[in-house]
Amino acid sequence: MRAPSTRNEVTRSSEDRDQPNMLMLEKYERCNYCNTKLLFTHDLNLSYLEVIECSRCPGCGVSMAPKKFTLQ
Ligand SMILES: [Zn+2]
C-alpha cells in the first residue's frame, strides 16, 4: 500500500535540484571581461510608464547598456 507514495517522493526530490526560485528571480548573464554574474537594477519611471533595466558587474565595475521597457 505504501509503494505509490514512495514513488512520488522520489520524483519530487529530483526536481528540487534545479532551484526554481533562483531561476525566476535572476538572469544568469555574465560579465564579458571577468565572467562574474551581473547585478541587475530596475528603475521605475512612473511618469513615462517605463522600466529601465541596468546591469553592472560587481567584479570589475563595468556597466552594461541600460534597456528600456514600456509598461502598458
Ligand atoms: Zn566583470
What is the domain extent for residue 25?
3-70
CA of 55 to the centre of ligand 1 (A): 11
CA of 5 to the centre of ligand 1 (A): 47
The tens digit of pLDDT for each residue in 15-29 reads 555 555 544 454 568
Rounded CA gap, 63 and 39, in Å? 9
The tens digit of pLDDT for each residue in 39-57 reads 999 999 999 999 999 999 9
Q: For residue 19, what pLDDT is reported? A: 52
Domain count, the chain: 1
CA of 39 to the centre of ligand 1 (A): 10
Q: What's the chain's average pLDDT?
A: 77
Taking 70 as the threshold, does the pLDDT of residue 62 lie above it? yes
CA of 61 to the centre of ligand 1 (A): 6
Taking 60 as the threshold, does the pLDDT of residue 37 lie above it? yes
CA of 6 to the centre of ligand 1 (A): 46
End-to-end CA distance of the chain: 53
57: burial class by Cβ within 10 Å (0-12, 13-18, 19+)?
buried
Dig out the grid coordinates for 69 from the structure. 521597457
Q: For residue 1, what pLDDT is reported? A: 66
